[in-house]
Amino acid sequence: MKYVENKVVLIGTGAVGMAYAFAAVNQSVCDELVLIDLNEVKSRADVTDLNHGEAWAPSPVTVTFGSYAECANAAMVVICAGIAQRPGQTRLELIATNIRIFKDIVGQVMATGFDGIFLVATNPVDVLAYATWVFSGLPSAQVIGSGTALDTARLRFNLGQYFEVSTTNVHAMVIGEHGDSELPVWSAASIAGRSLAKRLAARPQMQADLDEIFVRTRDAAYDIIEAKGSTSYGIGMALARITRAVLSNQKVTLPVSALLRGEYGHEGVYIGVPASIGRRGIREIVELDLDEAEQAKFDASVATLQGVIAASADVLPAPGSTAG
């Protein structure tokens, strides 16, 4: 693979794209960041604005506006382009329009000879990560969706507030569709080093509070979108975290959208699961020991996504022989 060390191309400079760009520059997660968007005037102004903060970044990041030709030697292409979710609209209702947009975007990227890592943020992210894999023909390890990284961050924050501990001391994960069928893995959660299961055994009445916390976590996007039109900062920081994991070859486990190949009893679907991430993308999917109820909910989430993919056959063909 011929790429420029730590060069990232961002496609789509709307609210999510620019929140990611700001986080990437502010944290110096890459050496070079190229912005691509149909609105060139606005995007060039964003480039200037970001460059004016270079003096305060941990280390310099070269930010420029460019064309798809920049993808040829990029280590990563991050896609935040597409039609945004409107108030009251589910992520899955965006599918047909955004699949068509992605077919064009991915086609233009691959025409440059790109052989890096795709990171997809646009909703419905699980389906669009799958679409990116299909349209690109790249090995599935090189196509990552943001998955349930944001949902997991939301859950950790809410649990930290509830137990009055630092978010960094909360170890809990959301898996499944980044959407209404996702689920928390309470059986594997721990708070400040103590398993949540033991806390529940001591205080069974706490389950009602946990259920309310998860509902608040799952539905957070609807409340934010209703109030300000979009979610951006949380997902922007989540994307920056995934980018750092790739470019620094951290081999860290994060909850992202990855292609199942028999894990959790399923295959052929992109869905949020914990995965080890390194320089070449998905290193391996980590299979949590789900309890019976959690496995049933995960199965239902897989079925939801499989149904959407099957119903989208007119715009989303089956993987070709080149998709590995």
Q: Which residues are catalytic?
A: 178
Backbone angles phi, psi at 167, to 5 degrees: -55, -35
Backbone angles phi, psi at 268, to 5 degrees: 80, 20
| SS3 per-residue string spanning 41-57 | HHHHHHHHHHHCCHHHC
Rg (CA), the chain: 19
Alpha helix (H) residue ranges in the chain? 15-27, 40-51, 95-110, 125-136, 149-163, 196-202, 206-218, 220-228, 233-247, 292-311
Distances (CA, A) of 149 to 57, 170, 189, 257, 273: 24, 14, 15, 9, 9
* CA angle (77, 78, 82) in 5-degree steps: 125
Q: Which two tokens stand for residue 88?
A: 């009251």
What is the helix (H) or strand (E) element at residue 183, kind and residue range? strand 183-184
Residues whose CB is less than 8 angstroms from the CB of residue 25 and which lie 6 or more positions away in sequence, other chains included = 33, 50, 53, 54, 57, 61, 63
Residues paired with residue 285 on neighbouring β-strands, in sequence order: 275
Per DSSP bridges, beta strands 190-191 and 194-195 are antiparallel
CA distance 97 to 79: 15
Residues whose CB is less than 8 angstroms from the CB of residue 127 and which lie 6 or more positions away in sequence, other chains included = 92, 95, 99, 270, 305, 308, 309, 312, 316
